[in-house]
Amino acid sequence: MNVTFPTSLAELFASLAEPGARVLAGGTDLLVRLRSGRDASPALVSLERVPELRGIGLADGPAGQTLRLGAASTLTEVLEHPLVHELLPVLARALAVLGSPPIRNMGTLGGNLCTASPAGDCLPPLAALGAELELASARGLRRLPLEAFLLGPGRTALVPDEVLAAVCVPLPEPGTLQHFEKVGRRNALAIAVVSLAALLRLDASGRVMDARLAWGSVAPTVWRCPEAEAALAGRRLTLTALGRAAAIVRRRVRPIDDIRASAGYRREVAGNLLLRLAEL
Amino acid sequence: MMRADALDKALGRERYALDLAPADCLWAGAFRPGGLSGVAHGRIVRIDATAALAVPGVVRVLTAADVPGTNLQGIMHKDQPVLCGDVIRHAGDPAALVLAKSAQALRAGLAAMRADIAPLPGVFDPVLALKKDAPLVHAGRAGGNLLLGAEIAKGDAAAALKAAPVVVRREFSTPVQEHAFLETQGGFAQLLADGTLDMTVSTQAPFRDRFEIGHALGLDPMRVRVRSPYLGGGFGGKDGATVQCLLALAALHSGGRPVRMSWDREESILAGYKRHAVRLRYALGAERDGTLTALSCSLVYDTGAYAHLGVEVMELGMEHAAGPYRIPNVRVTGRCVYTNNPIAGAFRGFGVAQVSPAFEGLMDELAAKLGMDPAALRRKNALRRGDVNPCGVRLTSSVGLAECLDVMESHEFWTGRTRWRADAPRFARRGTGMACVCDSMGYGRGLADMAIAKVELAEDGGFVVYSGVSDMGQGNAAAFAKLAAQELNQEPGAVHLVQPDTALCHPSGSSSAGRTTYTFGNALLRACAAMRAKLLVRAALPLLADEAASLELAPGVVRRKDDGRSLPLAALARFLTRDDRICVAEFLMPVAQNPPNTGKGFAIGFPHLFFAYAAHLARVEIDELTGRVRVCDYLAVTDGGRVLDRSCFDQQAQGGAAQGLGYALFEDFRLERGRILTRDLSTYLLPGALDLPDIVSLAAAGNEETGPRGLKGVGEVGFDGAAPAVAAAIADACGLRLRHLPFTPERVLAALRRGGKAGRRA
Amino acid sequence: MRLCFTLNGQALDIEAEADRRAVDLLRELGALDVKEGCGTGECGACSVLVDGTHKLSCLMLAAQLQGREVTTAAGLGAPESPHPVQAAFAAHGAVQCGFCTPGMAVAAAALLAQNPDPSREDARRAISGNLCRCTGYVKIVDAVLHAARAARGEEENGDDNGGGAT
């Protein structure tokens, strides 16, 4: 297997044009797959040294200010960035419980997105935040909302000569409550069994004006529940209101059984995690 | 004390077995057709090595036909093929051995191996395996799938239970557990020109390995040399041949080249030995004041496809099945059963780990039923020195259980338990639980628990201790070096320790059973005493002394006590032949005298005389929304006689408890018809640094007069207390009694939904 | 490919297969303190510092070492001058079988380089990617805090008489 290190987007696209070429981002998912005999390829193209794919900063987006996160940024870089900490605590919280310190030092934001695991820790927060993705190819740039990008377990809307260049997150309104909880079988190096990201805007009397909820590990990809969000509209975050929304969630969600948890457990907990919002 | 080997390990300078492998090794790997296919029981129709042999770099493929000797390995029962010829009996059973020139060639060669396995009906439940028409794991075996049925009977348990005013009856189960040592199984070997088979391997039993290899491959054990460097963990999983017979077979076919074998993590999980899963049915009877009168239980141990140490594990579990209590009427029946599950063998706690959650679960429930404080119930029935234990053995050895309870009960974790529970935050329940356990030391009756220590005065005036027992991390090597330096009154740096090497050291039994510091330590004390006596006499003439009593050993010298005139040990060494610079002494662990005839069907190992005791406490917080149980605090109070080295003592207690907490909460080994579903460390979860509390380890004051410096082995008892303490804490938190390990979030949440009540006991 | 990188302070210029795993290459180059415990990034025994950052060599390819400074546990300190973390591990009972120890030392050294005054929780988080089967982590965490104090000149990294947790 050949490994190349392009130093610009142009070089990157040229390398990716080689037959069978695959992208190597942090390697934390890819090398595990290679070990078990999957995803063998004659050529790996590293994103490590392509400056256009890194960098975190404020940018103007179509609907206002966004925080633009270079896709090849390591998870640690994103986690430790002051703007992420300040403006996107829901994402920071997810990153803090993803993997382990060395995994975060190596893995990239783009890699977590392109692996598109149903349990990907970054995915519910980015979905709740309404993130848009910038996809780049020799033909130029296109943008896709996150939820149009994630097609299913391990499947994304990337076409073969494209790379994920950046994640653009619209800045939440000041005062938005941001919450994330991951349920795993242990506190680090654990694939999520259920996770919940929530962004809530409350009015002066504590009633919900806008709720964006996104669950992980309970569906082929990130799962939204507009009915639960609607059930919270105009209510305060009481156990009663949250309990009603939780019941809706449990009725609608369709998780699977796997080695880490049963569908029944996932269904139960997916609803229960809403109750935690009473602590906000 | 700083362990002498600790700095080297921290500097990355320690060399484990595979680190020592020469550069020009051939690579050997086992082909395990059941692994990928998930077939646990099948007839080997055909092994096809054609494609494998065509891989560049693959040298040979060996099958059962190439195995000389009996092709059977095993420690006591030899029923495990080195390479299967007709039948595979578990998913990890090896059917061929591939030899290659490089790691890559080996991997490619193994991937190219093909086998036709015709599935046979399998049996995966030990209770079902005992039914009359169950498929046989070993075809044609008299006794079917029952490896051993045994019984312990003292008094009349059935009658006493009938008469008891209070009885608790319950069923429990414990799962398979994976050792998951960080260093997987491996080693290297070479057939030398003189016919010696020279092997370096990560092993807990280098001396016995020779006999296991010899029997399996038709070799003279005395022509097999086994060297045992420091192990990267053992815990029982490297007691008994793992790679040894395969490696020896490979070496016989390598044309004199060294050959190496290393199991990667997936192979270690697939093929390595496991802790026995056990089903337990218990009944405990008592008076209304809490005095225990009867215990009756039946135990079924799933030993997997081959015997390994199954019989011994079950026997030890049976011996401990009634806990550290005075109970006049006891009946324990045990059945050790073959199935097509992975091979179960030795694992820290060795049968006792499985019975502890059962007897302590009943004790805890009994206390609740009687409205008694849990510690008070334990104290009321706790064994003391001189008591007769549940097996009928009079405990003439030290018993520190009451002392453990004293320390535990005065700790703020115990005294503050009401407050702890009341302070539970929203969506959480808190509880405190305790457990008392004991675990024997040594082999018990019928098998000599013996060690032979050799000490040499080196030519440079220093000393060499030849250890006969492997150091798997318990620190015995450093302890021996320290002991010898103290006995011989030398600087610590003057004593050099040689790790077990069957050509240089003397047989001293396995590194297991909490015995190595006690047994080898005692032998070493004797050898040092002999050395001291010898050197004083040898130095008398040069020092113009006419009585040995007028001389003493001092760092680097023998000297006269009166005027300090001294003879350097290096000089003395030059006057002596090598023979004369060596002292060898042995020690045999004492055994229970006049053992009771309460055990029926026991071959060896019953009963024991020495036990370590412990009282454990866990404080937990249960999340009502997810069922996750967090152990917030943990206390282990251990009686190990006199504490020789506090740091080593704490290491054993903390390490044992940590593994026990893994067993109780995190480690969920999943099998489906013999196929392992938790194939690697991403699904078989060990607790990490964010999952465990600061385990507090305290020592109960004690003294075991027969032990070196008064100590007893404490390597295993620390494991046994964790699951029962956590179960009791969960019960305290929400009134739910969980009897099936592990207490996964799913099980806890389901139990909470079925109806737990905060702060109330069932 | 031609691979130029620094290993424990020594500049190397070698021929290596680009897709060789870093852990295998490093061990072949003599860094036997880099251990393979799982091969899937779950245990941390293969931990190394790459340009000062804690990474897992079992999940890296040789090619990714190009131009980098790689430090293994053996490169953190020497017998006469151990790294404060190594001295503390030895002095405070943090070593049992020792197989996880080189990786733990790397993780701890990376922590102290970033945070000279870590809390127990910080220390636990820093080693949360390193499994230990022997110790239960207590004495490892103790040792990390002792190392931090010693590095700040607040205590001697000397013998400790056991003393259990905290």
**CATH number of the CATH domain containing B202:** 3.90.1170.50
Spans of all domains in chain C: 2-76, 84-151
Distance (Å, rounded) from C-alpha B326 to C-alpha B343?
35
pLDDT at C164: 42
Same domain, B454 and B440: no
Q: Please indicate, yes or no, whether residues B287 and B417 belong to a single structural domain of this protein.
A: yes
- Of B236, B262, B288, which residue constitutes the final position of a domain? B262
Where does the pLDDT of residue B132 fall: very low under 50, low under 70, confident under 90, or very high at 90 and above?
A: very high
- From residue B188, give the alpha-carbon distance in Å to each of B68, B199, B394: 20, 6, 47
Spell out, as residue ranges, where chain C has pLDDT lower than 50.
161-166
Beta carbons of C96 and B180 less than 8 Å apart: no
Across the A/C interface, how many CB contacts are shorter than 8 Å? 73
Is C122 an 8 Å CB contact of chain B?
no
Answer yes or no: do B426 and A279 touch at CB < 8 A.
yes
Distance from the A199 Cα atom to the nearest Cα atom in chain C, whole angstroms? 27
Residues of B in contact with C137 (CB under 8 A): 658, 688-689, 692
Is residue B455 a contact partner of residue B527, using CB atoms and an 8 Å limit?
yes
Please give the order of strands across the beta sheet that includes B629-639: B428-441, B610-623, B629-639, B695-699
Query: CB C136 to CB B183 under 8 A?
Result: no
Residue of chain B with shortest Cα separation from C95: B6
Contact at CB, B12 and C125, closer than 8 angstroms: no
Per the structure, the complete domain to which residue B576 belongs is given by: 450-588
Smallest Cβ–Cβ distance between B625 and the set A260, A261, A273 belongs to A273
Nearest CA in chain C to A49: C64
Q: Name the residue facing A3 among C19, C107, C126 (closest C-beta).
A: C19
pLDDT digit string (tens) for B664-690? Answer: 999 999 999 999 999 999 999 999 999
| C126: closest chain A residue by CA | A101
Chains meeting A at 3+ CB pairs closer than 8 A?
A: B, C
Whether the Cβ atoms of residue B269 and residue B684 lie closer than 8 Å to each other: yes
Same domain, yes or no: B290 and B394: yes
Residues A183, B628: C-beta atoms closer than 8 Å: yes
Q: How many B-C residue pairs are in contact by the CB < 8 A criterion? A: 205
Residues B464 and B582 reside in one and the same domain? yes
Interface contact C107-A101, CB threshold 8 A:
yes
pLDDT digits (tens, 9 = 90+) for A237-273: 999 999 999 999 999 999 999 999 999 999 999 999 9
Considering B572, B588, B604, which residue would you say is the last residue of a domain?
A: B588
Cα B572 to chain center, whole Å?
43
CA distance B217 to chain A (A): 33
Collect all residues from C whose CB is shorter than 8 A from any CB in A.
1, 18-19, 21, 39-42, 44, 47, 53-56, 58-61, 63-64, 66, 107, 110, 125-126, 128-130
pLDDT at residue A224 in the model:
98
Confidence check: pLDDT of B28 > 80: yes
User: pLDDT band at residue B761, thresholds of 50, 70 and 90?
Assistant: very low
Report how far residue A194's alpha carbon sits from residue B496's, in angstroms, rounded to the nearest whole number. Answer: 55
Most distant CA pair in chain C, distance? 52
| pLDDT (mean) for B516-533 | 95
Give yes or no for a contact between B270 and B343, defined as CB atoms under 8 angstroms apart. no
Task: Out of 1.10.10.10, 1.10.3720.10, 1.20.1250.20, 1.10.150.120, select the CATH number for domain C84-151.
Answer: 1.10.150.120
The answer to whether the Cβ–Cβ distance between C1 and A3 falls below 8 Å is: yes
Say if the Cβ atoms of C61 and A3 lie within 8 Å.
Answer: yes
Tell me if chain A has a CB within 8 Å of the CB of B104.
Answer: no
**CB-closest option in B5, B12, B654 to C135:** B654
A31 at interface of C, judged by CB pairs closer than 8 A: yes
Domain count for chain B? 3
Closest-CA distance, A226 to chain C, in angstroms, reads 36
Residue B1: band (very low, low, confident or very high) from pLDDT cuts 50, 70, 90:
low
Question: Measured between CB atoms, which of A24, A28, A101 is closest to C128?
Answer: A101
Q: State the smallest CA–CA distance between residue A268 and chain B in angstroms.
A: 8
Q: Is C98 near chain B, with CB under 8 Å? A: yes
Contact call for residues B547 and B559 (beta carbons, < 8 A): no
**pLDDT of res. A228:** 98
What would the pLDDT profile of B567-596 be if each residue is shown by its tens digit?
999 999 999 999 999 999 999 999 888 888
Tell me whether residues C164 and B650 touch, CB distance under 8 A.
yes
Interface contact C141, partner B, CB < 8 A = yes
Instruction: Give chain B positions within 8 Å (CB) of C36.
Output: 264
Look at residue B172 and tell me if it is in a domain: no
From chain A, pick out residues whose CB is under 8 angstroms from the CB of C107: 101-102
Cβ of residue B688 closer than 8 Å to a chain A Cβ = yes
- B293: number of CA atoms within 13 Å, CB side? 18
The per-residue pLDDT for B595 is 83
Distance CA B184, CA B749 (A): 35
Would you place residue B445 in the very low, low, confident or very high pLDDT band (cuts 50, 70, 90)? confident
Surface of A (103-132) touching C: CB under 8 A: 103, 105-106
Which of B272, B213, B215, B279 is CA-nearest to residue B247? B213
SS3 B13: coil
A63 touches chain B (CB under 8 A): no
Interface partners of chain C (CB pairs < 8 Å, 3 or more) are A, B
Return the pLDDT at B300. Answer: 98
Spatial distance between the Cα atoms of B556 and B104, rounded to a whole number of angstroms: 52
Residue B687 sits at the chain A interface (C-beta within 8 Å): yes
B653/C135 Cα distance (integer angstroms)? 9
Q: Is residue B204 part of a domain?
A: yes
Q: Does A35 touch chain C (CB under 8 A)?
A: yes
Q: What are phi and psi of A19, to 5 degrees?
A: -60, 135
Same domain, B295 and B436: yes
Amino acid sitting at position B658: A
* Interface A-B: count of C-beta contacts within 8 A: 59
User: Which of B625, B691, B744 is opposite residue A269, by nearest beta carbon?
Assistant: B625
The Cα of A99 is separated from the nearest Cα of chain B by a number of Å equal to 11
Q: How many CB atoms lie within 10 A of CB B369?
A: 16
Interface contact B9-C98, CB threshold 8 A: yes
Q: Which of B427, B628, B746 sits opposite A262 (nearest CB)?
A: B746
Q: In whole angstroms, what is the distance from residue C48 CA to residue C58 CA? A: 10
**All residues at 6 or more sequence positions from B721 whose CB lies less than 8 Å from its CB, including other chains:** B356, B435, B436, B437, B614, B615, B616, B636, B657, B660
Is A41 in the C-facing interface, judged by CB distances under 8 Å?
no
**B562: burial class by Cβ within 10 Å (0-12, 13-18, 19+)?**
exposed
Which pLDDT score, from 0 to 100, does residue B708 have?
86
Identity of the residue in A27, A31, A105 whose CB atom sits nearest the CB atom of C53: A105
- What mean pLDDT comes out for the span B249-255? 97
* pLDDT per residue rounded down to tens, chain A (280 residues): 899 999 999 999 999 999 999 999 999 999 999 998 888 888 999 999 999 999 999 999 888 899 999 999 999 999 999 999 999 999 999 999 999 999 999 999 999 999 999 999 999 999 999 999 999 999 999 999 999 999 999 999 999 889 999 999 999 999 999 999 999 999 999 999 999 999 999 999 999 999 999 999 999 999 999 999 999 999 999 999 999 999 999 999 999 999 999 999 999 999 999 999 999 8
Cβ of C41 within 8 Å of Cβ of A187? The answer is no
Q: What is the ipTM of this complex?
A: 0.97
pLDDT at C157: 63
What chain C residue is nearest to A99 in terms of C-alpha separation? Answer: C129
B575 in A contact zone (CB under 8 Å): no
Interface test with B, best of A104, A218, A269, A273 (most B CBs within 10 A): A269
Q: CA C97 to CA B44: how far, in whole Å?
A: 40
Q: Say if the Cβ atoms of C61 and A31 lie within 8 Å.
A: yes
Residue of C nearest to B645 (CA): C162
DSSP string, B356-388: HHHHHHHHHHHHHHHT--HHHHHHHHB--TT-B
Please tell me whether residues B342 and B372 are part of one structural domain.
yes
Q: What is the mean pLDDT of chain B?
A: 96
Q: B331 Cβ partners below 8 Å, 6+ apart?
A: B151, B152, B153, B154, B157, B158, B295, B296, B297
Question: Which contiguous run of DSSP H or E holds residue A240?
Answer: helix A239-252
B592-616 per-residue burial string, b: 16 or more CB within 10 A, e: under 16: beebbebbeebeebbbbbbbbbbbb
Same-domain pairing of B313 and B437 = yes
Contact of A269 with chain B, judged by CB distance below 8 Å, is answered with: yes
Q: For A70-178, where are the alpha helices, taking DSSP H only?
A: 75-80, 82-87, 89-96, 101-106, 109-115, 123-129, 146-149
Q: State the first-to-last Cα distance of chain A, in angstroms, to the nearest integer.
A: 51
Cβ distance C64 to A48 less than 8 Å, yes or no, reads yes
pLDDT of residue C51: 98
Q: Which residue in C79, C133, C135 is closest to B686 by CB distance? A: C133
CATH of span C2-76: 3.10.20.30
| Statement: residue B758 has pLDDT above 80 | no
Tell if the CB–CB gap between C95 and B10 is shorter than 8 Å: yes
The vertex-B19 CA angle with B15 and B24, nearest 5°, equals 145
Last residue of a domain, one of B536, B553, B588: B588
**Within-domain flag for B151:** no
